[in-house]
Amino acid sequence: MKRTSHFLIACSLLLGAMPLTVSADDAPPPPGTPNNRVMVIQWDSELKSGQTVVTRVPLGAVLDFSDTNGPWRWIGAAKGWINESNVVAIDKAIEYFDAKVKSEPSSQTFYERGIARVALGLHEQAVEDFSEAIKRDDTNLAAANDRGNAWRQLGKADLAIADFTRVIDGGVKHPGVLVNRGLARQMKGLLDPALTDFNAAIAIDPKFAPAWEAGGSARFELGDYTKAYRNYLKAIEIDGKFARALNNLAWLLAACPEEHYRNGPEAVRLATKACELANFQDVGFLDTLAAAHAESGQFDQAIARAKQAIEKASDERKPVIRKRLKLYEDNQPYRQPLVDTGV
């Protein structure tokens, strides 16, 4: 069982003027105060502290600001200021990109509006924009990659695989594309081909943490818990703030069907860190933290976190977490079903 958070990881590859992204189960923008939420509308916008560039954020990124200073907005999560010329109020974002498409209906502007729609969770409309971008310029491989990610969010793995293969066959050698295709293959249960993609991504860049984490997730599904554990550790070694890897390792330590892998206190530590990085807003992370507390015999905390997860979960996901909650209320931990390896 793959357990992921929901966010978009920006990669450094440039296709023309367009950055490539690797998806990790995208979702609508994180919670915050709507009046203080903005979307980035310029490529590689700078967040500054004084004259120092703290980081760069991609077009389509959704940010919450907590203070203003003239034309500058303070982004507390990144500890930097962004100029108001680089952002637009979240509820005006589509209106902004609509106007841009109308004034200049190019492959690039359709692609940009598609990115904005993905950030808002509008994946069907995003597919339309990416398709139009590709129709206008069939060399727009970034649009093909992002359409693949949108297809995957819509549950259409075959179409996603076709788009990622198109990008790879187009000569793009970037670990992010291989991870994207691997995730789509994993969605179809094609775990060995998925691992082939994840390993190929690592061969290109051994420090690409998402490839290590994704490989761990596939191996966990295959019941290879030792290698899954090592993969997650490697991802965290590369990026100590990789919330998804922290969460997935915590899940293995909390709910693995094989007892000698379980370590409740360490699972609590890792799951808590993942939740902190997501401001305790990610349903999957809260679900993992509940399982970790239960494995540690802390059933009151497990119940509280499971209820918190249920409050934030989609209607589809609530029943799964409620079943685990019933176990915790009976002072029982949750165990992942044992994988039948055929041995």
* pLDDT tens-digit map of 63-113: 999 999 999 999 998 899 999 999 999 999 999 999 999 999 999 999 999
Q: Determine the pLDDT at residue 299.
A: 98
Whether residue 244 is contained in a domain is answered as yes
Whether residue 194 is contained in a domain is answered as no
**Please, are residues 181 and 197 in contact by the beta-carbon 8 Å criterion?**
yes
Whether residue 264 is contained in a domain is answered as yes
Whether residue 250 is contained in a domain is answered as yes
Give the DSSP per-residue string, 107-127: HHHHHHHHHHHHHTT-HHHHH
DSSP H helices, 6-156, are 93-103, 107-119, 123-136, 141-153
Displacement of CA 145 from its chain's centroid (Å): 15
Whether residue 329 is contained in a domain is answered as yes
Please check the confidence at residue 260 and state whether its pLDDT lies above 80. yes
Quote the CA–CA distance of 86 and 72 in Å, as a whole number.
10
Residue-range definition of the domain harbouring residue 332: 240-343
Residues 6 or more apart whose Cβ sits within 8 Å of residue 159: 148, 151
Q: How far is CA 34 from CA 38, 83, 94, in A?
A: 8, 18, 15
Whether residue 326 is contained in a domain is answered as yes
Whether residue 167 is contained in a domain is answered as no
- Total domains in the fold of the chain: 1
Whether residue 177 is contained in a domain is answered as no
With 0-12 CB in 10 A as exposed, 13-18 as middle and 19+ as buried, what is 76? exposed
User: 316-319: long-range contacts (C-beta < 8 A, 24 or more apart)?
Assistant: 317/283
Note the pLDDT tens digit of each residue in 181-232: 999 999 999 999 999 999 999 999 999 999 999 999 999 999 999 999 999 9
Q: What is the CATH number of the domain that holds 336?
A: 1.25.40.10
Please check the confidence at residue 22 and state whether its pLDDT lies above 90. no
Q: Determine the pLDDT at residue 77.
A: 84
Please check the confidence at residue 323 and state whether its pLDDT lies above 90. yes
Query: Looking at residues 303-313, what average pLDDT do you find?
Result: 97
Dig out the tokens for 217 from the structure.
Answer: 């997730």
With 0-12 CB in 10 A as exposed, 13-18 as middle and 19+ as buried, what is 335? middle
